[in-house]
Chains A and B, each alone.
Chain A
């Protein structure tokens, strides 16, 4: 613990926290300066995450003891394959959302940049921490920032959706506390690795208490992940949030999935509760699919697609061994990037039409009315050439990605999940159910996306060319480009993720590394 590079693990937490705090002192009108600090901090965060990712592959200690207190007593940060990857994903989304917001959204309300930085700090902390109570603190940090971001831009709709969002998440946090304190009461430790060791030695009389504690924790995480029936709040909140905030939120529900994945496999080895994840996940896919088909506007479509992806993840995690989990992680990365891009795109596309046109169009279709020809014209001005073509291309890209059609990673991921599932012999009934649900949800996504695309890009007689600035289009294109890169480099990416999944399914190495004296 002497070289500077040893402290790299703590950088993803400290850096955004410091940058966010610094910006609180700056005058609210200095947008350019704040933007520069924010983007700079996020770029550094991304570089640190890449370095962590590269290091995570080497079999050396990547455990950082805060304040150099020894492991079971002090708090540790652990940068293994999965957490490094999640930090990188958070940084990428943060950068995309920030770049997008620089066009105009960051001026729409106070302290936008600080909130984004605090959220990034909370996300990195939640992914890196090896301590249960510390996980709670980082959860609260990222949630508190997300409350602010959900409210960003204000307005009746946002405030109402945020009110529900805050109440539900506060209640879930209280459940988290109950679960964490029960686990502490039973095992006498808060360090996750130490807890995994001690849970085995818990006397039979206390086993029930441990299970109740784990169940309370599970419910808290699944509320955040948005599993049916705990996820009714999600589409409303995400549709109401401003585009950059919604893009950042697309990783928020993955935090819940991450916590389930990490703690369930570490503490219980993936045994008890698997059916709950499988059937809950499938119910989430079905609910999300119904929502995708019924959605009248694009933002809600994106929100329900997010639910479908969460359901797919939870069900695959519940169903299977390391191979399935590895494929599910690939799906996690691809779907998070794709849905974030879709949230950003939604806002750009909506500029093509008058507010409420979405609802009008679907209603008109349903009642067989002629499309309203007197839509109010918007301000016309081409800032980037061929804006319409770019938007159309990006939309088609997102649709392919979310529906899971080749050649994009959505297809590769679903294919890998199903291939890994079908390797079992004999194939259990739940796998067949999962296969059916997954394929049908893809079909529904194609139908819904196709309908939305036709209505937006082909149906209008003289489409209003929206004002789209380069800085707004670039993040969407970059996110989709990353997805494309993920397809091209599917081999190495999948190998990395399979290693990560193996590490999760055989937590012995993780536990040894955390608890070994340094």
Chain B
């Protein structure tokens, strides 16, 4: 299970980095989104990959072995919200750059062919 999750995160992060290094703004933004998915999953599994455990348990039934760490889940929610908002902002800047420069190259001008 851990191997599958690790491979999934690796694939997401790898594609994200590759896209981030591409010259078109849309590729960059998709790359950033993929990277942020990878990071969010990464934070999530910091609470360890174990199925069927509740993060909030009654005090009477408290058993450390049957308990999922709730903190990474809270952190990942915050991280998702923040990365969502900043990606939306970046999208606006991307559109503005496209409109002002007339090209979707990240440097605002086409490289000399």
Which residues of A are at the interface with B, using a C-beta cutoff of 8 A?
Answer: 133, 137, 140, 143-144, 147, 151, 154-156, 159-160, 162-164, 166-167, 170-171, 173-174, 177-178, 180-182, 184-185, 190
Distance in Å: Cβ of A418 to nearest Cβ of chain B? 41
Contact between B100 and A133 (Cβ–Cβ < 8 Å)? Answer: no
The reply on B7 being an interface residue by CB < 8 A is no
Contact A185 B46 (CB under 8 A): yes
Q: B72 and A137: CB pair below 8 A?
A: no
Q: Is the CB of A181 within 8 A of B108?
A: no
Interface core residue of A143, A147, A174, A185 (most chain B CB under 10 Å): A174
Task: Give which listed residue, A170, A180, A190, contacts B90 with CB less than 8 A.
Answer: A170
**Would A156 and B39 be within 8 Å (CB), given that A140-B82, A170-B90, A181-B46 are in contact?**
no
- Asked whether, in the complex, the Cβ of B32 is within 8 Å of the Cβ of A171, the reply is yes
B71 part of interface (Cβ distance < 8 Å): yes
CB <8 Å contact, A133 and B86: no
- B101: chain A residues at CB < 8 Å are 156, 159-160
- Complex contacts, A171 vs chain B, CB 8 Å: 20, 32, 35
Interface pair A174/B89, CB less than 8 Å apart: no
Q: Does B42 contact A (CB under 8 A)?
A: yes
Q: How far is the CB of A217 from chain B (nearest CB, A)?
A: 13
Q: Which of A133, A159, A163, A177 contacts B39 (CB 8 A)?
A: A177
Docked complex Cα distance between A178 and B85 (Å): 19
Cβ 8 A contact of A167, one of B28, B46, B82, B96: B28
- Interface of chain B residues 1 through 47 with chain A (CB within 8 A): 20, 25, 28, 32, 35-36, 39, 42-43, 46
Q: Is the CB of A177 within 8 A of B43?
A: yes
Complex Cα–Cα for A163 and B20 (A)? 13
Count of B interface residues, CB-CB < 8 Å: 31
* Contact between A159 and B100, CB atoms less than 8 A apart: yes
B residues 60-86 in Cβ contact with A at 8 Å: 71-72, 75, 78-79, 82-83, 85-86
Main secondary structure of the interface of A (DSSP, over half): helix
Question: Which A residue's beta carbon lies closest to that of B40?
Answer: A177
Chain A residues near B83: list those with CB within 8 A: 170, 173-174
User: Which of B42, B78, B86 meets A170, CB within 8 Å?
Assistant: B86
**Are B93 and A159 interface neighbours, CB within 8 A?**
yes
Task: Evaluate contact between B32 and A167: CB separation under 8 angstroms.
Answer: yes
**Which of B36, B75, B106 lies in contact with A181, CB distance below 8 A?**
B75
Q: Is the CB of A156 within 8 A of B46?
A: no
Contact A166 B89 (CB under 8 A): yes
Asked if A184 and B71 sit within 8 Å, CB to CB, the answer is yes
Q: Please determine whether B106 and A163 come into contact, CB atoms closer than 8 angstroms.
A: yes
A162 to B97, CA, bound (A): 9
Beyond the given pairs A144-B89, A159-B108, A174-B35, 7 more chain A to chain B contacts, judged by CB atoms under 8 angstroms and listed by A's residue number, are A164-B106, A170-B36, A170-B83, A171-B20, A171-B32, A177-B43, A181-B42
What are 30 A-B contacts with C-beta separation under 8 Å? A133-B75, A137-B78, A137-B82, A144-B86, A151-B93, A154-B96, A159-B97, A160-B100, A163-B25, A163-B90, A163-B93, A163-B108, A166-B90, A166-B93, A167-B90, A167-B106, A170-B32, A170-B83, A170-B87, A171-B32, A173-B86, A174-B35, A177-B43, A181-B42, A181-B46, A181-B75, A184-B46, A184-B71, A184-B72, A190-B71
